[in-house]
Amino acid sequence: MNGRKLIRLFLKNCVWGNLPKRHALIMPQVIARLAEQGAQGVIFGCTEIGLLVPEERSVLPVFDTAAIHAEDAVAFMLS
């Protein structure tokens, strides 16, 4: 399955709150292929991706936008 098909399938299922475990198995493979093609990092721009693929399962640095926003919101509220 190529990356575009995976993303389409993933987003379709996220809309319904359904995160199949097979996606958790496929995503690290897609990330590894991106690394082979020269990617230097991965942006998790969908809030559910970070839940599906923990950062430690990625061969590339991960930028989880949901986590980044949450951390910044907490820092702002505590300042």
Can you give the CATH number for the domain in which 66 is found?
A: 3.40.50.1860
The C-alpha angle 34, 19, 14, rounded to 5 degrees, equals 85
CA distance 15 to 33: 26
Q: What is the domain range of residue 47?
A: 3-78
* 42: helix, strand or coil: strand
pLDDT computed for residue 70 by the predictor: 94
What lies within 8 Å, CB to CB, of 35 at 6+ separation is 59, 60
- What tens-digit pLDDT sequence spans the chain (79 residues)? 566 776 777 777 766 666 667 767 888 888 999 999 999 999 988 777 787 788 888 999 999 999 999 999 999 999 9
What are the C-alpha distances in Å from 12 to residues 33, 58, 71? 22, 22, 27
Domain count, the chain: 1
pLDDT computed for residue 15 by the predictor: 62
